[in-house]
Amino acid sequence: MALLLGCIADDFTGATDLAALLARSGLPVSLRIGIPQEKRDRSEIAAFEVIALKCRTSPVDVAVKQAHRALAWLREAGASRFFWKYCSTFDSTAEGNIGPIAEMLMAETGAAQTIYCPAFPENGRSVFMGHLFVGEQLLSESPMKDHPLTPMRDSSLVRLLTPQVASAVGLANRNVVSKGAAALKTHLEQLHGDDIRHVIVDAVCDDDLRTIAAASFNMMLLTGGSAIAGQLPQFYIEQGLASLSEHRQALPKVAGGSIVLSGSCSAMTRRQVARYTGKVASLRLDPIVLAQEGAGAALEWLRQQSPDAPKLIYATAEPDEVRRAQERLGRDKAGHVVEDALSEIAHEAFDCGTRRFVVAGGETSGAITQALGITHLAIGPEIAPGVPWTFAAVDRRQIALALKSGNFGGEDFFTDAFDRLETA
């Protein structure tokens, strides 16, 4: 099948979120972890190819270089349209990497203009008059203000993006979007005439996303969250660029122990962890202790558990505890000791027979997936909007892996996840 859209995601949970929303169309989606090393066989290329990077908080030059290599791979695989996926809460450091990567992709592909559409109404993210809301709260008043790595203290996407790009940032607001695709197209052309190449687009509901997709599905480069991407397949099908085949990939049945590993400190993960600790054997990790003593005690705890019983190991903590750890260790070191420990634990769990992994947190998922040496994920059923089960091979054994974005899923997500696998 022809490659319709080459996608680059800035973290691993974001990549599975994107893959899940594209997969709702019934068209084949392939998710590759990092830039593939092997030579591509055209017959193995899916309609949607997603490359998961772990570059959300990397220095700008490192992130741009990685995205550049991902673009080269996608082009060689046959892509001529591209999607740059970042977080629905626009998570980035002050300098990037949303803008710099978009600019690089525009320069390389010759895209004269692109849109920025992080809205994901199904998960409560909407953009109105250029301001991002999480539920009913402005981004800067939501729990995202306390994120351990990318605290979001402004809600204006124009203000957030402007310092990240070289040219002016414009807005297509809800009044324009609500007039329909033709009006939005005209507005984008007018902005282009004024040399505005970066355009934030408002969206508060799925109808808005459909209008935006109708106006922009032919653009060389689109950027945003998974929800706008999820609207694109229907336009490709309508244009005759793709057709639904009856052939669906058979997904494996995965037997073996279950574990939840959480390095996310997001508000929803904190609630999910609190629920799940009451239900299964649980162990809390303290970054300050990990920095002094390593993960040995946690590995020992894991070995003493029954291999088949579900269990939870988490560093998830309230914002004041995160602050305390960061003051003692520094922000990056606090993050890395947790990611390293959870990666070691994931390895040990695999060696002890665990085959079903739920991982909470984008950075955490990146660290664990890389540590397990996973290079490709097949996309399975969605547990909650934007969180699918995925399947991969580790040492030639099948595992099931659900990578959960910090704020996705309901309070019983961990229980729901394992239940969903039983019924898949």
Ligand X SMILES: Nc1ncnc2c1ncn2[C@@H]1O[C@H](COP(=O)(O)OP(=O)(O)OP(=O)(O)O)[C@@H](O)[C@H]1O
Ligand Y SMILES: O=C(O)[C@@H](O)C(=O)CO
Residues lying near ligand Y in the complex (CB under 6 A) are found at: 11, 13-14, 17, 87-89, 225-226, 362, 386, 405
Residue 260's closest CA among 368, 148, 181, 174?
A: 368
- Partner in contact with 224, chosen from ligand X, ligand Y, none, beta carbon below 5 to 8 Å by kind: none
Q: How far is the CB of 363 from ligand X (least distance, A)?
A: 4
Among ligand X, ligand Y, none, residue 226 binds (CB under 5-8 Å by kind): ligand Y
Choose among ligand X, ligand Y, none what residue 88 binds, the Cβ cut-off being 5 to 8 Å by kind: ligand Y
Among 224, 287, 310, 386, binds ligand X (CB under 6 A): 287
Nearest residue (CB) to ligand Y, 57 versus 164: 57
Residues 326-345 within binding reach of ligand X (CB under 6 A): 326, 334-335, 338-339
SS3 212: helix
Candidate residues 362, 385, 388, 409; the one interacting with ligand X per rule CB under 6 A: 362
| Nearest residue to 116 (alpha-carbon basis) of 88, 140, 155, 152 | 88
Please name the amino acid found at residue 375: T
Q: What's the rounded Cα separation, in Å, for the pair 17 and 89?
A: 13
Cα distances (angstroms) measured from residue 161 to each of 102, 131, 200, 226: 11, 12, 9, 19
Output the smallest distance, CB 359 to ligand X, in A.
Answer: 8
DSSP-assigned letter for residue 271: H
Strands 125-128 and 131-134: antiparallel
Q: Which among ligand X, ligand Y, none contacts residue 325 (Cβ within 5 to 8 A by kind)?
A: ligand X
CB of 316 to ligand Y, least distance (A): 15
Q: Which of 1, 149, 220, 289 binds ligand X (CB under 6 A)?
A: 149
- Rounded to the nearest whole angstrom, what is the least distance from the CB of residue 88 to ligand Y in the complex? 3
- Choose the contact partner of 201 out of ligand X, ligand Y, none; CB within 5 to 8 A by kind: none
Q: Smallest gap, in angstroms, from Cβ of residue 284 to ligand Y? A: 23
The conformation of residue 412, written as its DSSP 8-state character, comes to T
250 Rama class: left (phi>0) / alpha (psi -120 to 50) / beta: beta
The amino acid that residue 413 corresponds to is F
Of the pair 337, 400, the CB lying nearest ligand X is at 337
Residue reference for tokens 């008059």:
129
For the bound state, the minimum distance from the C-beta of residue 379 to ligand Y, rounded and expressed in Å, comes to 14
Helix H or strand E encompassing 84:
strand 82-85
**Nearest CB to ligand Y, comparing residues 30 and 364:** 364
CB of 409 to ligand X, least distance (A): 11
C-beta nearest to ligand Y: residue: 14
Tell the smallest beta-carbon distance from residue 120 to ligand Y (Å).
Answer: 6
Q: Which is nearer to ligand Y, 105 or 360 (CB)?
A: 360
Of positions 208, 363, 382, 416, contacts ligand X by CB under 6 A: 363
SS (H, E, C) 134-180: ECCEEHHHCHHHHCCCCCCCCCEHHHHHHHHCCCCEEEECHHHHCCC
What residue 272 binds from ligand Y, ligand X, none (CB within 5 to 8 A, per partner kind)? none
- Report if residue 148 touches ligand X, rule: CB under 6 A: yes
Q: In whole angstroms, give the CA distance from residue 126 to residue 132.
A: 6
Indicate the Cα dihedral angle 144, 145, 148, 149, nearest 10°. 80
Give the three-class secondary structure for 405: coil
- Helix, strand, coil distribution of the chain in percent, nearest 5: 45, 20, 35
* Residues in touch with ligand X (CB under 6 A): 11, 13, 147-149, 263-266, 269, 287, 315, 317, 321-322, 325-326, 334-335, 338-339, 361-364, 405-407
